Amino acid sequence: MKKNQLLVILTIIAVALIAIVFVLLNQEETTVDRGNHVSIEGQPTLGDRDAKVSVVEFGDYKCPSCKQWGESIYPQLKADYLDKEDVSFSYINVLFHGQESILASLASESVYEQDPESFWAFHKALYDAQPASQQHDDVWVTVEKLKEIASETTSVDLAQFEQDLGEESTVLENVSTDDGLVSENGVQFTPSIMINGVMLEDPFDYEQIQQLIEQDL
């Protein structure tokens, strides 16, 4: 009898230990996933930088899908989460469309340096200025256009702004930081949306966006 009781107790202890190890291993896995957060230091960010959930868009002002994402998904995200605490939203430049992407990125970084409060107004106005998608290969990001948008939406020094679009730019480093983050995070297409280190397969899948946010809130 005593032997049997001992066996039962030992079995219970063994099962409990296995369960504990299982839970610990799973926790470790979760921690590893969450450790892959992209750094949002120096990036325009809506909300608290230390929010529990960080949503990051890798976007390109020349990309029609980014404009579409900004018009269809972003307003839902803002209404559901960004107006509350605990969720932040950051934007990182991607340079997939050549010279115009670089020019638009330099412009946005110059605005963010000079007048960070106006960044999101400039950002939206720049996407609004993107022509209908069938004409997106036409050149539309020009120094003149950028100056016009900056003068309408920000209070930047326009001479400094124009300098930042050229060879004497003071924000080139910010653009190359973004480019580095794009490579590091294996961004393949725009927009790419990352939520607490998890890259979405389909940035237009709002249900998955909600699911990823809710699970970390």
Q: Which residues in this chain contact Ca ion in the complex, by CB under 5 A?
A: 43, 178
Query: What whole-number distance in Å separates Cα of residue 86 and Cα of residue 15?
Result: 38
Residue 210 CB, shortest distance to Ca ion, in Å, is 26
Query: What whole-number distance in Å separates Cα of residue 144 and Cα of residue 48?
Result: 34
Q: Which is nearer to Ca ion, 4 or 183 (CB)?
A: 183
Q: Which is nearer to Ca ion, 59 or 203 (CB)?
A: 59
Query: What whole-number distance in Å separates Cα of residue 124 and Cα of residue 91?
Result: 12
**CB-based closest residue to Ca ion:** 178
Residue 26 CB, shortest distance to Ca ion, in Å, is 35
Backbone angles phi, psi at 88, to 5 degrees: -115, 160
Q: Which is nearer to Ca ion, 90 or 153 (CB)?
A: 90
Query: What whole-number distance in Å separates Cα of residue 192 and Cα of residue 138?
Result: 23
Token couple for 202 = 């389909």
Residue 119 CB, shortest distance to Ca ion, in Å, is 10
Residue 104 CB, shortest distance to Ca ion, in Å, is 12
Angle between helices 143-153 and 119-129 (to 10 degrees): 130
Q: Which is nearer to Ca ion, 171 or 195 (CB)?
A: 171
